[in-house]
Amino acid sequence: MRQDSDGRPGPARGGAATRTRAHGRRHPARPGVGAAPADTGASQRRRAAVLSEDIAQRLADPRQVREWLPHHRHPARALTLGDGMPGIALLHLERGTADGHARHTAHRWLSDAAGLARTTPDDVLAEAPGLYRGVPALSFALTRAALVSGRPLAAAERLAGHVRTLARTLAGRQRRRRPQDGARGDNGTYDVLSGLAGLGAHLLDPRVRDCDALAEVLAALTGLTAPLRLDGRTLPGWWTGRDRGGPATAEPGTGHADPGMAHGASGPLALLALAWEAGATVPGQEHAIRTLAAWLMAVRRHDGEAVHWPSTLTPGPDGTVVAGESAPGRPSWCHGTVGIARALYLAGRALDVPEWRDTAVTAWRSALAGARHTYDGPVAGRLADAGLCHGWSGVLQATWRMADDTRDAALRAQLPWLAERVLDLADIDDPFGLVPPLAHGGLAADPAGFLTGAAGAALALRTFATDTAPATHWDRALLLA
């Protein structure tokens, strides 16, 4: 890869021009990456492989990334799965299953992360006990490294012990909540990114699993389905005492329920279903799966034959629970239909409920049909990022998993179009090879990392290019499988 004098990746020589749809800019295309008018499946997979590898090369040197992104020098951001070193290492670990040089690159990232962790105060490392921050994030990446190396790693085993402790502490906090007395929860306690669903996803790995710790997590999430008695009303047990995107509230009529995968009910449902299939069960788990799935079925919306879910449910003026919006939202992993439908499908697979599975597939088809329709409309109505969380790569990876599980020809037929949306965002003038993500929810998104940036997009492109499930099971961090 050619570099300019400042060390940033420079444009490749040759190739036709490609247009970046989101920004309307033109850039010289890296050979094999630019769009082709009539692309064959094999050619498109080759282009996806080339872009994935190009991104990996741009993310090969931790020092260079820190020069471009100074926030990667700070532990609070650098030691995260979403933005920081552990998440970027996942890309090189997945490549490292067949490439010794990639394993060496992954080792550099993990060594730098471990070195930073050793000099970071314990209270900073443990200030957020979820999977995506501090010790659990580094533990998840090191566990993938042990899988790739084929042998136990002392550091991975040591950190796994800390994760179990964090999980049991957080589970105890959830179990002490008294929903029957009006004690609302906090989705940061039970969600995928910050809470028990994410920690449980990691504890499902046989290299980390501790039966007692996992059982406590599953028991806490099972208890989450106990109804909340609040101000004379009965609300879902996962009703959070926060207004959407705001601080905790004290008024009895406020708060919301989130159906989504990242922060809502679908995360615990997906974990409970995957644990059930893995033979990890606790009393009441089947009832909890049925309660969560039945709620998702009840709050789904119909637009003709199309099915979708609102991104949030809030108290209405008459005391009923109402959808925060009437129109289908973007089909993202984090809050959108594909994340919710994946959880519902996993529940239907675990308990063999065809109605849930069929609803999930119908909703998925609706979401992708809507994505194609809005893509040709105003920019504001479509996904604009390449990333996993709320961008095209998350939809691509999730759809690949669904198509692989269901053998649904209609879903599989959508994969080339979804991959093309990521390829459309290739930008050789950007240090990381993609159009940078937009700010989301008032927060700046990281352009290099796993959750919103180039590393995650490269992983999803690799899945599409190889048409093979990830060897490192990296998408367990998204509770997709």
Query: Tell me: the pLDDT tens digits for 124-156?
Result: 776 777 999 999 999 999 999 999 999 889 999
Q: Is the pLDDT of residue 250 over 60?
A: no
Structure tokens at 365: 């088809």
Q: Is the pLDDT of residue 13 over 80?
A: no
What percentage of the chain has pLDDT greater than the value 90? Answer: 67
Q: Is the pLDDT of residue 5 over 90?
A: no
Local confidence band at 253 (pLDDT 50, 70, 90 cut-offs): low
Read off the amino acid at residue 173.
Answer: R
Q: How far apart are CA 248 and CA 456, in angstroms?
A: 31
Query: Tell me: the pLDDT tens digits for 432-462?
Result: 999 999 876 656 689 999 999 999 999 999 9
Rounded to 5, what percent of the chain is helix, strand, coil?
Answer: 50, 10, 40
Q: What is the pLDDT of residue 443?
A: 64
Q: What is the pLDDT of residue 440?
A: 66
Q: What is the pLDDT of residue 31?
A: 38
Convert 303-358 into a string of H (helix), E (strand) and C (coil). ECCEEECCCCEEECCCCCEEECCCCCCCCCCCCCHHHHHHHHHHHHHHHCCHHHHH
C-alpha dihedral over 98, 102, 107, 108, to 10 degrees? 180
Q: Give the DSSP letter of residue 46.
A: H
Q: What is the pLDDT of residue 35?
A: 44
Q: What is the pLDDT of residue 439?
A: 77
Query: Tell me: the pLDDT tens digits for 400-433?
Result: 999 999 999 999 999 999 999 999 999 999 999 9
When comparing pLDDT for 5 and 279, which is higher?
279
Q: What is the pLDDT of residue 18?
A: 38
Q: What is the pLDDT of residue 180?
A: 84
Lowest mean pLDDT among 58-72, 225-239, 264-278, 409-423: 225-239
Q: What is the pLDDT of residue 383?
A: 87
Q: Is the pLDDT of residue 11 over 70?
A: no
Q: Is the pLDDT of residue 172 over 90?
A: yes
